[in-house]
Chains A and B, each alone.
Chain A
């Protein structure tokens, strides 16, 4: 935490004294860029991602990256990143990405190292506030999922081809290993079901992206697909299942098999206006095995069928002001969209409308204010709301960000 603060203050120092015009730093042909942001959130009923009910400043992030071009088609770089949002992050510094990039031809390039995972339109830039209108992206990019789908170690093959008749097609195929920490957002997500994760096993992960920009100006369509298995050890008193069933503790081993997240997307840019729509499906099998010494091992296989989508529009009114809004829906169990198998029906969905105003005070400094109206408890953490999750929540966010 102390190191995280030190990084933030160092960044602030660099920003204030060396880059007052918001340009990059250059040292011995190493390009240095970064950003720092501080937010505030307050909600009226449930706590959302942090102790938001009473208002919280525990909502910040910072990054600094270094890149060097050795040849026109070869560069290497890395980015350090730290954040704090509620109980997640706590300003621990992490290597966000670090890789070497060799572009052999337009059609084929290679990257080797820790690489951002392609997931929908905006996953790779989810942390970078100044690159988007919104403070919180829709639940297709749910904050808790960041640790699972942010980046992975591996080899990436990518490229693009311009077809005369159908337009430009880009592809990316990333294969490697995905590591998840026990204090990650994924652990928090499982914690809401009564599991205390004690260890994760790394495993093979693969993902791909196909992006098509047809000969219709401003339009792009695409699909991304991630698949991997997760093995984890957990302690629990009981693991609740729908319809009041539960699996007894204390020790469980669980496995998320054939884990697959697919996002189909469309984005259309009409001058200063951008429309986007994405539909995410998350499929897999949650296999739970009891490890209690007193009982014979029992294996449960629970299908996971989660869906989410959103529609958004942003509009830049002037160089100074941009606004945007979205409507998003998340179903943790798409076969039970009305929540009839849940303890309370509204735990079966999360519906959200957001409206945001972004002010570009300078090229480098932005201020945003955003209001959310949420219905449903599917993305509210019971551990953040010990007195129970309420159905509706209004959330107000403010964020100031500086980049160079």
Chain B
């Protein structure tokens, strides 16, 4: 009986690990891109706070301008992995700001070329694109600490 229970938990553990590997793989399939002038070391907490509008300045006091790439799979994966909210919760978070006057809706693009172009020409900009999206050399792709 006990061995059956153990086997059940072992299978559950393996399945769970598999799910984690899949979700990490999804996370790896995203590139975070920043304007070339940004020299800051960026942590996962920084990413979360930037996209929640809580961190608004880089270390050199430059204003942060984040942009959302709204292709559903990438958007969902990014928000779940880095911001740690569901897409529905994240949208509501910004709607709350809009309807209480405490914030404006973030800039959104539905093509990765638009995101790259915006980041390239806007000082302090940060965004994310799918890993298979070709990023020119003058835009910096980063891996959070």
B20 within 8 A of A: no
Q: Are A217 and B56 in contact (CB under 8 A)?
A: no
A19 within 8 A of B: no
CA gap between A159 and B91 in the complex, in Å: 22
**Which chain B positions have C-beta within 8 A of A24?**
98, 105
A45 within 8 A of B: no
CA gap between A125 and B100 in the complex, in Å: 7
A375 within 8 A of B: no
A341 to chain B, nearest CB (A): 40
A157 to chain B, nearest CB (A): 13
Contact of B54 (CB < 8 Å), options: A75, A116, A125, A168: A168
B3 within 8 A of A: no
Contact string against B for A residues 209-242, beta-carbon threshold 8 Å, 1 for contact and 0 otherwise? 0000000011000000000000000000000000
A124 within 8 A of B: yes
Q: Are B84 and A319 in contact (CB under 8 A)?
A: no
Contact of B101 (CB < 8 Å), options: A72, A97, A130, A168: A97
A56 within 8 A of B: no
B65 within 8 A of A: yes
Nearest A residue to B87, CB-CB? A319
Contact of A272 with B86 at beta-carbon distance under 8 Å, contacts A63-B99, A124-B96 already known = yes
Q: Are A124 and B100 in contact (CB under 8 A)?
A: yes
**Which chain B positions have C-beta within 8 A of A182?**
none
Q: Are B98 and A67 in contact (CB under 8 A)?
A: yes
Q: Are A116 and B100 in contact (CB under 8 A)?
A: yes
A residues 58-89 touching B (CB-CB < 8 Å):
63, 65, 67, 69, 72-73, 75, 77-79
Q: Are B104 and A319 in contact (CB under 8 A)?
A: no
B residues 89-110 touching A (CB-CB < 8 Å):
89, 92, 95-96, 98-102, 104-105
Q: Are B96 and A72 in contact (CB under 8 A)?
A: no
Query: Of A98-106, A245-253, A276-284, which binds chain B?
Result: A98-106
Interface size on A, residues (CB 8 A): 41
Q: Are B99 and A78 in contact (CB under 8 A)?
A: no
Q: Are B100 and A97 in contact (CB under 8 A)?
A: yes
Contact of A65 with B101 at beta-carbon distance under 8 Å, contacts A125-B96, A131-B95, A218-B84 already known = yes
CA gap between A284 and B115 in the complex, in Å: 54
- Interface size classification for chain B: 20 to 34
**Which chain B positions have C-beta within 8 A of A50?**
none
CA gap between A170 and B86 in the complex, in Å: 22
**Which chain A positions have C-beta within 8 A of B63?**
72-73
Contact of A271 (CB < 8 Å), options: B86, B100, B101, B105: B86
Contact of A103 with B104 at beta-carbon distance under 8 Å, contacts A73-B63, A131-B92, A131-B96 already known = no
Contact string against A for B residues 47-58, beta-carbon threshold 8 Å, 1 for contact and 0 otherwise? 001000011110
Q: Are A101 and B54 in contact (CB under 8 A)?
A: no
Contact of A106 with B100 at beta-carbon distance under 8 Å, contacts A24-B105, A131-B95, A217-B84 already known = no
CA gap between A217 and B54 in the complex, in Å: 16
Name, among B85, B96, B124, the residue most crowded by chain A CB atoms within 10 Å (CB to CB).
B96
Contact of A69 (CB < 8 Å), options: B86, B95, B99, B104: B104
Q: Are A162 and B101 in contact (CB under 8 A)?
A: no
B49 to chain A, nearest CB (A): 6
* A-B residue pairs in contact (CB < 8 Å), sample of 29: A24-B98, A24-B105, A33-B98, A63-B99, A65-B98, A67-B104, A69-B104, A72-B63, A72-B65, A72-B124, A73-B56, A75-B104, A78-B101, A97-B100, A105-B57, A106-B54, A106-B55, A111-B102, A116-B100, A116-B101, A124-B100, A124-B102, A125-B96, A128-B95, A131-B92, A160-B54, A162-B45, A218-B84, A403-B95
Interface residues of B (CB under 8 A from A): 45-46, 49, 54-57, 63, 65, 84-86, 88-89, 92, 95-96, 98-102, 104-105, 124
Given A31-B98, A105-B56, A162-B54, 5 more A-B residue pairs with CB atoms under 8 Å apart are A31-B104, A98-B101, A131-B95, A131-B99, A319-B88
